[in-house]
Amino acid sequence: MTRAGADLALLLLAGFRTFADRGAEALARRGFDDVRPTHDFALRAIAAGADNPSELARRLTVTRQAAAKTIAVLEERRYIDRRPDPSDGRRLRLTITARGDELMRAGDAVFAELRAGWEAQVGSVRIGEAEEALRALVGDGVISVDSPDWSTRDLDS
């Protein structure tokens, strides 16, 4: 019995995990030592319009309780805040703070640097080919940075 399929799945997961872990380490060196990948997913969902707990839960495909926990962590760490909705004063909207914007910009820069490092290691052509192959296999439409599904653990660490 061959394990080629399982080994490929593990290799893809290890690639993601390596990229995410190195990204978290680089962000920590830039002063963002309190974030995890799930926090980035949530911030990007909020930036894309998920401005309340129910919508954030829907976009992250988690329970409303899990979304509320993520919101509490991000708010405590000053990455988001809640502001009155101009059209309905009873409603509070989730908004990204200046610190949250700074984190997202730093994250974009870190991942660009990580990609450049991988390109230096194996060549930009090979990285481009790997990216094209993955895009052909999974399609462009499934890449959604605000829908992590299974990777929403470690919300309070």
| Predicted local distance difference test score (pLDDT) of residue 138 | 86
Q: What are phi and psi of 91, to 5 degrees?
A: -100, 140
Cα–Cα–Cα angle for 19, 21, 25, nearest 5°? Answer: 115
72: number of Cβ within 10 Å = 14
| Predicted local distance difference test score (pLDDT) of residue 156 | 45
Q: For the residues of 30-41, what is the DSSP string, one character each? A: TT-TT--HHHHH
Contact yes or no for 56/45 (Cβ under 8 A): yes
Q: For the residues of 115-135, what is the DSSP string, one character each? A: HHHHHHHH-HHHHHHHHHHHH
| Predicted local distance difference test score (pLDDT) of residue 154 | 46
Contact yes or no for 93/84 (Cβ under 8 A): yes
Residue entry with tokens 């994250």:
107
Strand ranges, E, within the chain: 80-85, 88-96
Q: CA 48 to CA 71: how far, in whole Å? A: 15
Cα 136 to its chain centre, rounded Å, is: 22
Burial readout 97-116 (b: 16 or more C-beta within 10 A, e: otherwise) = eebbeebbebbeebbeebee
Tokens of 79: 């990455």
Tokens of 16: 């993601």
Domains of the chain: 19-139 (1.10.10.10)
| Predicted local distance difference test score (pLDDT) of residue 143 | 55
pTM value is: 0.81
pLDDT per residue as tens, the chain (157 positions): 678 889 999 999 999 999 999 999 999 999 999 999 889 999 999 999 999 999 999 999 999 999 999 999 999 999 999 999 888 888 899 999 999 999 999 999 999 999 999 999 999 999 999 999 999 988 876 555 544 544 444 444 4
